[in-house]
A = this chain, B = another copy of it.
Amino acid sequence: MFCRPGQTELMARRRDITRDDILDAAQRLMQQRGANGFSVRDLSGEIGFSAASLHHHFPSRADLLAAVLRRYRERFNARMAEIEAETENFFARLERLIAHFASVAGAENRVCPAAVSAVEFNTLPEAARDESLALWANLSGWIFRFSQQAKVDGDLPGRTAPDLAARHFTATLQGALLLQRMTHPGTLLEVLHEAVESLRR
């Protein structure tokens, strides 16, 4: 046996399937098909796994869905904190935020897990609902935080309330990801840049 225990660190062998590998596939399926649009068997098949093995990593489907949302939210928060540290200008921050969501959509017009969890909210297990609410709070929270700073810096016009501007931009962001899937690939960036322009005036 070439791959028996004890030699694993030394052998050139097939990389183990990690928790993150599973979450990668699960998140992609959630973004492409919705949380109720794939089964544990579908996910296992994508990874090249048995359904039983998947249950070893995530005891129940509910745990898996909550974990996908939690990791997505934590990565989003980490990226927003980076952006806040990288640049001080409101519009430069928005450009990076837009680039982040362009990569969320990818080449396959994936939608945001936030939109998925909102549409299917009433069918989600409780832990996933809690994560979904936290995700939306963090999403609009960061945009509000940037808008508030912009107000202080004079980058947001006098009549524009930061809170309202943030919720407007959050809604446009999620809607633009849906719209792009249903129209053509350039829509996401075109609409979001228009949204930014409308914040300048």
Q: Does A77 contact B (CB under 8 A)?
A: no
Partner of A198, one of B133, B170, B198: B198
**Residue of chain B at shortest CB distance from A190:** B164
Dominant secondary structure of chain A at its interface with chain B: helix
A111 pairs with B122, CB closer than 8 A: no
Copies assembled? 2
A183 pairs with B116, CB closer than 8 A: no
A121 pairs with B182, CB closer than 8 A: yes
Interface residues in A162-194 (C-beta closer than 8 Å to B): 164-165, 167-168, 170-176, 178-179, 181-183, 187, 190-191, 194
A34 pairs with B123, CB closer than 8 A: yes
Q: How far is the CA of A174 from the CA of B136 in the complex (A)?
A: 15
Chain B residues with CB under 8 A of A178: 114-115, 118-119, 171, 174-175
Total interface residues on A, using CB and 8 Å? Answer: 42
B167 pairs with A191, CB closer than 8 A: yes
B183 pairs with A171, CB closer than 8 A: no
Q: How far is the CA of A167 from the CA of B177 in the complex (A)?
A: 12
Q: Does A140 contact B (CB under 8 A)?
A: yes
Shortest Cβ gap from A169 to chain B (Å)? 9
Binding site for B on A (CB under 8 A): 32-34, 36-37, 111, 114-116, 118-123, 132-133, 136, 140, 164-165, 167-168, 170-176, 178-179, 181-183, 187, 190-191, 194-195, 198, 201
28 contacts between A and B (CB under 8 A): A32-B122, A33-B120, A34-B119, A34-B123, A36-B120, A37-B122, A111-B118, A114-B178, A114-B182, A115-B175, A119-B119, A136-B182, A136-B183, A140-B183, A164-B190, A165-B194, A167-B191, A168-B194, A170-B175, A171-B171, A171-B176, A171-B179, A172-B195, A174-B174, A174-B178, A174-B179, A175-B178, A201-B201
